[in-house]
A and B are shown apart, each in its own frame.
Chain A
Amino acid sequence: MRWLTQTLAVTTMNLRSLPQRLAASSVAVVGFACVVAVFVAVLSIAEGFRRVMERGSSPDVALVLRTGSDTEMSSGLEMDATRIVKDAPGVLRTAAGPVASAELFVVVDVPKRATGTDANVPLRGVEPAAFEVRPEIRIVEGAPFRPGRNEVIVGRAAAREFAGLEVGNRLRWGESEWEVAGIFAADESIYESEIWTDVRVLQPAYRRGTSFQSVYVRLETPDAFQRFKDALTADPRLDVEVMRENDYYAEQSRVLRSLVHTLGNLIALLMAVGATFGALNTMYSAVAARGREIATLRALGFQGTPVVVSVMAESLLLALVGGLIGGGLAWAIADGYQTATMNWQSFSQVAFSLTVTPRLLAGGIAYALAMGFLGGIFPAVGAVRTPIVAGLRHV
């Protein structure tokens, strides 16, 4: 009990004297805040990217590609193969037939609004059932493309990031001219970065004959996946790979995410080392300023631990304040910032918004507390190691 009272007393006294050391303390706080702000802001890029890639993909949608193709772009399926896939067990069927869409995935050059330079925007050819496979797609402006015509609909994010994709605009790709019929939303998923058209129009325009690259199917239930997959892989007429839509898109974002993570952590780690040295400085001078006070306390019979705790409390408090400011700044500046980048795995643009999640914020604050701990522990222990007499003489 006595120990606790001592600790409380010393800590309160110490924290109340903090305003006297405001300048030095704010240097430490700013240091912590900047590290946390950079850490959170950089990782919010990876977070936002992940969210876009994982959103909207539901566990009861499966994707079929040719074996060995890790992206739709490098895949290829003949018409006969797509028919077999659509008729496989486990595929949801309605009066109109199987809920499955054989698709083509190519890219077209469209200028990026931010820079005016050409960017690889994905152009997807779909079959009518595509809208049943992905019910989250809805037209928010204009109208759907009319089958058999050179018309496209543009994802909301693509219309925002790339120039000239407004409803009614005419675009020239290759020999044919295309008209933007509408803009669609897709629950902020990856599909909003794409341009869609009728696959039967896209095939001749890209000289793909009657071939496709992927088949998207809606399963009867999420559990039907295994049955569907087994049926296809066992079929000797097919040479295909079957995956769930969400697994596919998680894999598609792997390279970019791990690049941002590696670089972000490297930068944050180095910054943290620098800021910890700064914090050590602040805490050493705080302890030095209180040298006499600490020696007096100990001469009066206070034990070492309460003194250590009081120094640590100060350091951790500064870290917490810094962490909150930094996290708040990152959230205010980065969260929701809309941008687009090249996903090298699909060789096409993905539009996304930076996303600061609560987990990221908590991580940032934990980071700050760790720096505060390291910055406080050495001065704190040093303070109680100084002989009392030397401390009392200290000016």
Chain B
Amino acid sequence: MKYLPLLWRNLWRRKVRTIFTFLSIVVAFLLFGVLMAIRNSFEAGIDLAGQNRLLTIHKVSIIQQLPERYLAAIRSTPGVRVVTHLSWFGGVYQDPKQFFAQMAVDPETLLRVYPEYVLPEEQKAVWLKTRTGAIAGRKLAERYGWKIGDRIPIKPTYYRPTDGKPETYEFDLVGIYEGKTADVDETGFFFHHDYLMERIGDPGTVGWYVLEVDDPARADEIAHAIDVQFENSPDETKTTTEKALAQSFAHQIGDTGAILSAIAAIVFFVILLIAGNTMAQSIRERTSELGVLKTVGFTDATVMALVLGEAFLLVGGAGILGLVLAKLGTPVFGKLVESFLPVFYLPAGSVLVGLGIAALLGLASGGVPAFVALRLSIVDALGRR
């Protein structure tokens, strides 16, 4: 610690060089933060997915509807605690470019199966009673400036009404939910499945079922017990954990994780070169000074530690600043891509990884110059000028 002033003075010997090196490292870590936030948003839902939540979808494809009567059979399967169902409405608000997901649901069981959607009690009570009531996520409501009590017209695509009333569905916004944690999608829109059925003459179908089981360890067994019941029927089912389904959807998009990690690796490689070059240059310039230090009694190890410390100070300081900027900046970048990637934030785990990388980079960029400093003999050092 007592050498800190010395390290500090050494760093500022070449102001311009230090500043630019510092800034380029800051930007690299900022970029690392953004990349990790992107990666996290593509994989959103995988970590969030409750281990004890299973999804039952049509075996052919999730777009195929399932009979509503499966509800009772699934509910009475041993090990199942509560079942809810969702249907993709796919309607158009204002114009098709204004995309957000709308789901027809059973409100009461939905909120039990998805406790991460936090809805104030009084709003929940109103929603349960209001047939045309809908709730929206906080971010979605902010995007369109919706307030509770607003009437939201949505044009159907798949679900054309057959009741002779005007085609557009008018929903009453009765609640705005928030996510329990940052990784909950707050751009959802949910309304009564009963209302949908009433308008389209009740075909008795739902999109898919979501169920909560007592014991996650028995998930596979319960999934099998559900699917067996519908085998050899026109609508066979496929029940998987929510996590497995989220993972397979992430795979459907492609290997975004690998692409983003590759970019991050390239960025750090460049930074290693830039920082390493700066450190090497600055030690080369100061060779005779290191000789003087050794002459006045500094040990080889101390001189080496001084050089390494300088590299750590530079890379570590810049790394921390970059990560802080990334944490502050992700909400801003998130706005740009909100409609594609609703969940966009920098997870704490990635910040830790970033700190680890900063330490490694400090070591790697200071390593060679530090080794040179260690081996340097006084005669050589003072003779080189």
Contact = CB atoms under 8 A, between A and B. Distances in A.
Contacts of B112: none
A281 B96 CA distance: 49
B17 A284 contact: yes
A366 to B, nearest CB: 20
A148 B104 CA distance: 37
Interface in B264-287: 266-267, 269-271, 273-274, 277-278, 280-281
B92 A68 contact: yes
A267 B262 CA distance: 12
A117 B28 contact: no
B266 A266 contact: no
Contacts of B24: 274-275, 277-278, 281
Interface string A59-82: 000000000111001111000000
Interface stretch (B4-12, B174-182, B251-259, B351-359): B251-259
A278 B269 CA distance: 13
B60 A266 contact: no
B23 A31 contact: no
B27 A23 contact: no
Interface stretch (B29-37, B131-139, B140-148, B299-307): B29-37
Contacts of B61: 106-109, 120
Closest 8 CB pairs of A and B: A74-B157, A274-B27, A277-B24, A117-B248, A70-B96, A342-B252, A115-B251, A270-B31
B253 A341 contact: yes
Contact of A108 (B60, B99, B234): B60
A27 B269 contact: no
A174 B233 CA distance: 9
B158 interface: yes
Interface in B332-365: 333, 336-337, 340-341
B266 A173 contact: no
A68 B21 CA distance: 54
A37 interface: yes
19 contacts: A24-B281, A30-B270, A68-B92, A109-B59, A117-B251, A119-B248, A119-B251, A120-B62, A174-B59, A255-B99, A258-B340, A270-B31, A271-B267, A274-B25, A274-B28, A274-B270, A277-B27, A281-B277, A342-B253
Interface string A95-113: 0000000000011110010
Contacts of A271: 27, 31, 267
B170 interface: no
Given A34-B267, A106-B61, A281-B278, 12 more contacts: A24-B281, A31-B273, A38-B266, A106-B64, A109-B62, A119-B251, A174-B64, A262-B336, A270-B34, A277-B21, A284-B16, A341-B254
Interface residues of A, number: 56
Nearest to B247: A117
B263 A267 contact: yes
Contact of A106 (B63, B96, B99, B255): B63
A42 B262 CA distance: 11
A17 B227 CA distance: 75
Given A106-B61, A117-B248, A281 B266 contact: no
B157 A68 contact: yes
Contacts of A38: 263, 266
B193 interface: no
Interface string A275-295: 101101100110000000000
A30 B267 CA distance: 11
A300 interface: no
A364 to B, nearest CB: 14
Nearest to A339: B254
B17 A285 contact: yes
B327 interface: no
A42 B252 CA distance: 18
A21 B376 CA distance: 24
Contacts of A74: 90, 157-158
A43 B41 CA distance: 20
A30 B236 contact: no
Interface of A: 23-24, 27, 30-31, 34, 37-38, 42, 68-70, 73-76, 106-109, 112, 114-115, 117-120, 173-175, 206-207, 255, 258-259, 262-263, 266-267, 270-271, 273-275, 277-278, 280-281, 284-285, 339-342, 347, 349
A206 B252 CA distance: 23
Contacts of B64: 106, 174, 206
Contact of B30 (A106, A175, A270): A270
B38 interface: yes
A102 B285 CA distance: 77
Interface of B: 16-17, 20-21, 23-25, 27-28, 30-31, 34-35, 38, 59-64, 90, 92, 96, 99, 155-158, 160, 234-236, 238, 247-249, 251-255, 259, 263, 266-267, 269-271, 273-274, 277-278, 280-281, 333, 336-337, 340-341
* Of A69, A109, A112, A207, most B-chain CB atoms within 10 Å: A109
Contacts of B23: 274, 277
Contacts of B263: 38, 42, 267
A262 B30 CA distance: 17
A94 B262 CA distance: 54
Contacts of A115: 248, 251
* Of A42, A73, A270, A349, most B-chain CB atoms within 10 Å: A270
Contacts of A267: 31, 34-35, 263
A27 B274 contact: yes
A169 to B, nearest CB: 17
Given A275-B270, A285-B281, A270 B27 contact: yes
A381 to B, nearest CB: 13
A207 B235 CA distance: 11
A342 B42 CA distance: 12
Contacts of A23: 277, 280
B178 to A, nearest CB: 25
A38 B31 CA distance: 13
Contact of B252 (A75, A173, A258, A349): A349
B246 to A, nearest CB: 11
Nearest to A265: B336
Nearest to A345: B99
Contacts of B277: 23-24, 27, 281
Contacts of B25: 274
Contacts of B62: 109, 120
A76 B158 CA distance: 8
B44 to A, nearest CB: 14
A75 B160 CA distance: 10
Given A278-B20, A281-B20, A174 B31 contact: no
Contacts of B16: 280-281, 284
B90 to A, nearest CB: 5
